[in-house]
Structure 1
Amino acid sequence: MLRSDAELVRAARTGDMAAFAVLTERHRAGLRATAIAVLGYTDEAEDAVQDTMLTAMRRLPELRDPEAAGPWLRQIVRNTCKMLLRRRQPVPVAEPEPLMPPAGDPRPDEVLGQSYARDWVRDAVGRLSLPLREVVLLRYFSDYTSYHQIAELCGIGEDTVASRLRDARRTLAHTLRETADDAHHAADHEAHRRQARDHLTAMQSGTYDRVLDDWYRPDLSVFALGGLVGDRSALRAMMDYTFGAGVGVRLRDATASGEVLVWDTDYINPHSDPEHCPPGSAWLIRLREGRVARMGVAYATR
């Protein structure tokens, strides 16, 4: 028997991912028509539909009336299209507006970490190629979500960020549809957080030479502000500058997918030098054979 939208929404909220896949496939044609009406017959229309699916997955708990799933999905795709249109405008903006929930909404990783969708999505992200996985983790699972910040951390251009996100969304949408009936077992998110906290604690204990030797490969590449800074000696100099001034580093959050780690941190400046470091930073870490091979750093603005 054909289930109603409301029945599918209620089932999806209890963990039935097949129900969510049926719901979104049922409305895919209408969403695409809405996107084309706003954007025209362009690749962006399909991008908007794929982004709508990911947004709906995150925000399904916010849908107050399960009977209104169709209008709710169409409103999401219209908002997504409006953001894409604003990016088309030839005005001097610093960066494209991120396709994220409005200020004050829960972060995507917080929603996923508490919801039915966590294992399903994390498994799908883990199947992406490494370059696509990096931009997705930053865009949807960190505080450093702008195209400019992602470009800095990955050492690529903003156009490349946009194209990788587009490819990732399409691949994720396909994978999520294909795996809706599967049971997934995600890596322990709290274990990644504990590992990151232990790492930062060891760094600040005055023994970070040992941390460098244990954790970081001799051929480490360090990137900051979008460019190559150097190797392990450069990282040691960065640590000297930070910890030598009495600055503390506190973990805000950590997430991982295979050999890609993303850490969000806060800096705690001493009272004697409250402007020594910016408020925080993001670390994009790429592992090889269990040790850090590449580390990108981007800084929060005051």
Structure 2
Amino acid sequence: MPGTGDDEIVAAARTGDESAFAVLVERHRGELRAYCYRMLGSLDESEDLVQETFLRAWRGLGGFAGRSTLRAWLYRIATNACLDALDGRARRVLPHHVAAPADPGARSPPRTDVAWLQPYPDRLWEPAASSEAEPDAVAVTRETLELAFLAAIQHLPPRQRAVLILCDALGWPAKQTATLLEASVASVNSALQRARATLKNHLPEHRLEWTAARPTEQERKVLRRYMDALERADIAAVADMLAEEVRATMPPYPMWYQGREAVLVTLAASWDPGLPGYVGRFRTVATRANGRPALAAYVRGPGAPAYDAFAIGVLRIEDGVIAEITAFHDPGLFPAFALPMTLPPADR
């Protein structure tokens, strides 16, 4: 049904045509998944909430009267599903939100009692703005998938979070947002004002100076150099690429490191075969996450037959050097990035 409008497909779906409904699902899946991800900060849960949204939509399709667009109706269902999921939940965080920087080389076990933020593969991102939207609107959408933004909006109550995302990230008018939330325009404007004030307090300094575009050629070059140094376990090469005040985190491990020297000491401890903390040799694959250059790291421990999925590392690069490394140590994320779980050995 390519080229067919939503109204015609809805009419077919109302007759019980599951294939027609499947077309609607795929047409709106991408933007609803990104919306649920912004609301929850979790890739895994965003997938579940999108499935819940379409299940509720299928069950309620007979009651869709067409007073709004199908897209707005689906957003209402998704919003309610997200608000239900967030009821009583702790906010999602990164390690530097819950503890002070660790001493170089310090180790702590993973924490499963903390709700950690997750990365979002750029391959799954689809702009929610219409094709007639101005480029600035699309840029705002990209900005609001950044980890810094995701961490900041976690401080908002769920309904304020929904208002901010709908109005500021997706560009919905206050009246349309009020209709979706079954609220008054005045209450939406008030919630938006409070949400913006809270967000300002929690966004990093100089956040507005960060680029919202896709990774630049310079950033891609830095990423390639970093990947090469990682595979060669070349500490000196990595040192040349790190900002003086670089920050490195690896959820679900709670410790994080601030400053070039602290990061280098920690890396050296895990890259040296002669030390007890040795992890193994690495292979890497370039990818993109949250609008940033990223890499998938695979590790081959001593005696292991292959390289196993290890972590997804998201880099923030400023002025040609790495300002932040967020390595998500969760092999379960690799399928979402369309990456294999293992890589064969490769002689260097």
Larger radius of gyration: 2
TM-score for both structures, normalised by structure 1? 0.46
TM-score for both structures, normalised by structure 2? 0.41
Higher helix share: 1
